[in-house]
Amino acid sequence: MPILNTKGFVLGSINLGETDKIVKFFTEKYGKVKGVVKGARRMKSRFSGSLQPLNVLDIIYFEKENQNLVRINSCEIAVSFHKVREDFEKLTRSLHLIELVDLVLKEKQRNKRIFDLLIHTVSCIELSSLEHVDTLLRIFDLRVLSLVGYKPLLDKCAACNRALREKTCYHFSSLQGGILCENCFQHKRDVMKISGGGLNFMKKALVLDLNRVTRLRLSHELNSELKELINSYIEIHMGKSPKAHKFLEQ
């Protein structure tokens, strides 16, 4: 029964019995892990306050062969992002990030690049004004989809590979995985329109140095356009979309 240690984001938890919890973590070394935290719900539990979503913990746990649930031995808060937690709008949007990670990654699927991206994005949200937070979400969405093999094709037609003509409005197909040319988008049921500004943002979001993301800024109109498009893309390829998306659309 190996003893493992790693940093991990708390993705969520459910109650188990009268005093315990099953907690889901996205760990730096081992991907998504579910573990039983004994006594987590007791009044004087040593885990009190540490198991909230978005906390980054230093975790030590035991793993038994052929068992899905690990046994959490200890978890200490490494990063709490308390400024995000104290701002309802930032907190709600940040919860979207961990929901998307939970959705796109399988159990124990390691992805250090997504882990680093998640920490970087929540850190940026904590330091940013609210008007920039939605820009960070759209960048995160596109980067995560790219890192799990769903990078949208934006430079040529996703159906016929022809070069795209420059224009003010394009057509995006979630099923085809990218922009369609004028010939290929005809009669496609899943096609959504995307403006030239929206397409340019998507291109930059996928390649821009993460330390320079604050140079990108979405207008309210462009954010609404891209949120709808990306949400559709996630839902088609993952089977559902994060709940926080729907909450933010209300």
The full set of domain ranges for the chain reads 1-80, 89-250
pLDDT in tens, 39-66: 888 877 787 778 988 999 999 998 887 7
CATH number of the domain at 89-250, out of 1.20.1440.120, 1.10.3720.10, 3.20.20.140, 3.30.360.10? 1.20.1440.120
Tell me what pLDDT residue 246 has.
Answer: 46
pLDDT in tens, 58-95: 999 988 877 788 999 989 999 999 999 899 999 999 99
Which segments of the chain have a pLDDT < 50?
245-250
Tell me what pLDDT residue 1 has.
Answer: 64
pLDDT in tens, 98-112: 999 999 999 989 999
CA-nearest of 6, 22, 25 to 14 is: 22
For 1-80, CATH gives 2.40.50.140
- Whole-model pTM? 0.90
CA dist 151 and 136 (Å) reads 17
